[in-house]
Each structure stands twice: as structure tokens, then as C-alpha cells.
Amino acid sequence: MRYVRPDQTTDDCMALMTEKRMRHLPVIDNGKLVGMISIGDLVKNIISEQQFTIQQLEYYIRGKHT
């Protein structure tokens, strides 16, 4: 398989792209191309998720959790 579905995770996409040495990955839904993601898109998403986690941990440590 050299495509992903819209419901697949960032980790799924990254694993496929790494395994197949792909820089771009089609997103297929019901047999139709609905998008294309790049390795850069995935890296940006991972960085964003990590920044959010760090921020939440900092708030927790400082006692500012909601």
C-alpha cells in the first residue's frame, strides 16, 4: 500500500513513508484522491504535538492546570 486513508495517524503515515522511502503520500477516501501529505507536513505536526505536550507538562508542574 502506498497511500493512506484520512483516519490514519501521523505515526502510520511516517512509518509508511520511511519504509517505502517516500517524500509525498496520497490520501485516498472511497477510491478518490482527497489530498497529499509531505514529510514536511508530518514533521510540522509532530513538532506541534510535542510543543503542546511540553506546555501542558509545564503548566502541570507549575500548578496551573485546569
- Categorize the per-residue pLDDT at 29 as very low, low, confident or very high, splitting at 50, 70 and 90: very high
Residue 4: inside a domain: no
The residue segments making up the domain with residue 52 are 10-62
User: What confidence score (pLDDT) does residue 63 get?
Assistant: 86
Amino acid identity of residue 28, one-letter, is I
In this prediction, residue 65 has a pLDDT band, given cuts at 50, 70 and 90, of: low
> Does 37 have pLDDT greater than 90?
yes
Taking the C-alpha atoms of residue 59 and residue 33, their distance in angstroms, rounded to an integer, is 41
**CB neighbours of residue 12 within 10 Å:** 13
Average pLDDT over the chain, rounded to an integer: 93
> Has residue 42 been placed in a domain?
yes
The number of distinct structural domains making up the chain is 1
Residue 37 lies in a domain: yes
User: Residue 66 pLDDT more than 70?
Assistant: no
Residue 47 lies in a domain: yes
**Could you tell me if residue 5 is inside a domain?**
no
The CATH number given to whatever domain includes residue 22 is 3.10.580.10
